[in-house]
Chain A
Amino acid sequence: MTLAEGVQLVSTIILSVMMIGAAIGVVLLSNIVYSAFLLGGVFISMAGLYLLLNADFVATAQVLIYVGAVNVLILFAIMLVNKRQDFAPMPKAWVRRGATAMVCAGLFALLSTMVLATPWSFSTTVPSSAGAIKAIGRHFFTDFLLPFELASVLLLMALVGAVILARREFIPESAVTDLQATPLTLPERPRELVPVGGTPSQEESK
């Protein structure tokens, strides 16, 4: 075993332990903020494993999308709400826990049998990251076009939904009049508030 192989083996072990440990922490910790931060740890360890498999584009994309976007958004949502609430003890909690454990064990058994039963075709060539981006791009625009486009439509739908939620079209009429009737207001840029059923005001806010 050469030095490089040894380093690779040790890194694989460290990354796997990190990933499993962080994943268990995500599930078992009761503080949701810790869970969210540990989720970032899971994603980072996964990126490390991709890197060890010579898939550096996938690893970088994993960090950018899952750690930099998804995890930050999860944290953002948790902190914006900032609701520190302990779980109230529920009667007959063991039924739910037992059911969850059974579902998880079943899923684990199913996936393990799938992994063991599938005749994987191992490639003997050393995987190379050179030209990986071009190959991925070609696949996206030829044989994986439909899933790719469907994913982007899904994201577009999420985007439109977020914009509608953020614009708050459904402010009650009374709240709007209250806001406008406040006598002492600082000379700020007027905010455009859209009342229910009303047409948006003609003058643009800027």
Chain B
Amino acid sequence: MNSGIDLQGTFIESLMDLGLPLGAAKAIWMPLPMLLMIIGATVGVLVTVWLERKISAAAQQRIGPEFIGPLGVLAPVADGLKLIFKEDVIPAKSDPWLFTLGPVIVVIPVFLSYLIVPFGQNLIVSNVGMGVFLWIALSSVTPIGLLMSGYASNNKYSLLGGLRAAAQSISYEIPLALAVLAIAMMSNSLSTVDIVDQQSGYGILGWNIWRQPIGFLIFWIAALAECERLPFDLPEAEEELVAGYQTEYSGMKFALFYLGSYINLVLSALLVAILYLGGWEFPIPLDAIAGWLNVSPTNPVFQVVTASLGITMTLLKAYFLVFTAILLRWTVPRVRIDQLLDLGWKFLLPISLVNLLLTAALKISFPAFFGG
């Protein structure tokens, strides 16, 4: 297997040539990808907020932000600056400790989940063996933060919003996990890198979406519900609950919720791209292209091109999904809470169980196509 660029190995080797011990070199390397990922995620949020504004404007036949930077690209930056400078109000009758801790607990697991997002064979913060399972576990921590902020606000709308958020995220976690389980069964691994490797080799034909069409739909619906995007944004339904658990928040604490929800959206889109759309793979296998051009796969220029193409492909796929999510938000009405729970428990759960059984049966019958 062509492993591509190994930045970590090269970096550590060059530090060791300078006379540093192995442990110290590794310790110096470790914060770099993490920092890069956090910055990347934040920039991704800015891009998504801009897209949200522009696409919503297009959907409603408006122009959208126009004068803040070219095409209004600086509008999300202005938003962020405004939120930073706003007064941070803690309501008098609230519980100040839980009120402060709530948004933090919401945001940390989402950032931590970026640990497992690969952009190439070695372009990943940490190739954890647990991979997607870690993401599922981490995303199940978020409702605690939501409940915490809903309770601490001492406001009935906040409490109801927090309770709804927890109910929603518990309900949709199960179909989500079952859809991921079908993928894990086909890939014989939970690691995101292995899952992408299993889809490689045949270009666009090898992607999991052709083998798991039902799983793809279940995963995307459940992921949208986990992100509380519009067809499922019950926890903050403004007509019923003012703003749900965010009602009492302002300034940076509100910004954390805002950031968390958009990071979660980008993360879900990235994971759909990785699990179902071949991750960093190009629609035509790059090794075949290298063969046609008579370029050796170990050629450094080719490797740099492959790596940048991989990052571009992952982001393109993810942002295509973000685009569909935004379009859905501005075209689809909100469901009611009973409809939401019905959809989760009475429709998605049985369907995802059937999907799992079907995958298992197909894996036994056609081991060549379904990862024996």
- Residues of A whose CB lies within 8 Å of any CB of B are 2-4, 33, 37, 40, 44, 56-57, 60-61, 63-64, 67-69, 71-73, 75-76, 79-80, 82, 129-130, 133, 189
Q: Is B144 an interface residue (CB 8 A)?
A: yes
Q: A57-B130, A76-B166, A79-B163 are in contact. List 11 more A-B contacts (CB 8 A).
A: A33-B151, A37-B98, A40-B144, A44-B141, A56-B129, A63-B137, A64-B140, A67-B140, A68-B140, A72-B166, A76-B163
- Chain B residue numbers with a CB within 8 Å of A40 are 144
Q: Is B76 an interface residue (CB 8 A)?
A: no
For the complex, give the distance between the alpha carbons of A73 and B166 in Å: 9
- Residues of B whose CB lies within 8 Å of any CB of A are 23-24, 27, 98, 128-130, 133-134, 136-141, 143-144, 147-148, 150-151, 159, 162-163, 166-167, 170, 173, 190, 338
Asked, given contacts A33-B151, A79-B151, whether A2 binds B130 with beta carbons under 8 Å apart, the answer is no
| Interface pair B147/A63, CB less than 8 Å apart | no
For the complex, give the distance between the alpha carbons of A161 and B139 in Å: 28
Main SS of chain A's interface residues?
A: helix
Residue of B nearest to A37 (CB): B148
For the complex, give the distance between the alpha carbons of A64 and B150 in Å: 21
For the complex, give the distance between the alpha carbons of A68 and B140 in Å: 4
Asked, given contacts A68-B141, A76-B147, whether A3 binds B166 with beta carbons under 8 Å apart, the answer is no
Across the A-B interface, how many residue pairs have beta carbons closer than 8 Å? 68
Residue of B nearest to A44 (CB): B141
Asked, given contacts A60-B133, A79-B163, whether A72 binds B27 with beta carbons under 8 Å apart, the answer is no
Residue from the list A63, A72, A80, A130 in contact with B170, Cβ < 8 A: A72
10 cross-chain pairs, A with B, having the tightest CB-CB distances, nearest first: A68-B140, A64-B137, A3-B23, A63-B137, A60-B137, A60-B130, A75-B147, A72-B143, A60-B133, A56-B130
- Chain B residue numbers with a CB within 8 Å of A61 are 137
Residue from the list A60, A75, A129, A133 in contact with B144, Cβ < 8 A: A75
For the complex, give the distance between the alpha carbons of A75 and B147 in Å: 8
| Interface pair B23/A4, CB less than 8 Å apart | yes
- Chain B residue numbers with a CB within 8 Å of A3 are 23-24, 27
- Chain A residue numbers with a CB within 8 Å of B144 are 37, 40, 67, 71-72, 75
Residue from the list A37, A76, A129 in contact with B167, Cβ < 8 A: A76
